[in-house]
Amino acid sequence: MAEPTLIAAKTRVRADLLGAEPLHVQGRIDGTVDLAGRLVVEKGGIIVGEIRAEEVVIAGIVAGNVTALHRIELKASARVVGDLVAPSVLVEAGARFRGDLATAASVHDIPALDVDDDGDARPRRAKKRLVLRTKRLVRERSEPL
């Protein structure tokens, strides 16, 4: 397994990310993250945008819909505003989550998803309401980047 790419604590990225290697986020990403690998949002890390990955572990803040091919895990320190879609979702005591949750044997079995020919799954959901909740959640964070 390849070494994960790291977005360091004092780093802010404003772009859509597409990759096939694992990614650890300690800083902030404003944009879509689309990985054919594992994504870890560490405590103190922030992602504002949609996430699609094989597996997602969140200990920081995510404001956006999260779709995982295999599993989503919310650690006790996680703060998520957005929909979670995966065959398996684990939420530790103390994690905060606001949104819809959909689980099935496969993301292809979830009717609330648009699945294209490449197998990419995207939740069907209006973004406007999510953007308003996102701005409030990010403002609540105590540490500026």
pTM above 0.85, yes or no: no
Residue-wise pLDDT tens digits, 3-33: 889 999 999 999 999 888 899 999 999 999 9
Pairing state between β 5-7 and 23-25: parallel
Give residue 31's region: left, alpha or beta (phi > 0; psi -120 to 50).
left
pLDDT, residue 42, reads 98
Q: Work out the mean pLDDT of the chain and round it to a whole number.
A: 81
Residue-wise pLDDT tens digits, 69-97: 999 999 999 999 999 999 999 999 999 99
**Sequence ranges of the domains in the chain:** 5-134
Q: Which two tokens stand for residue 69?
A: 């091919």
Instruction: List beta partners, residue 35.
Output: 19
pLDDT, residue 136, reads 53
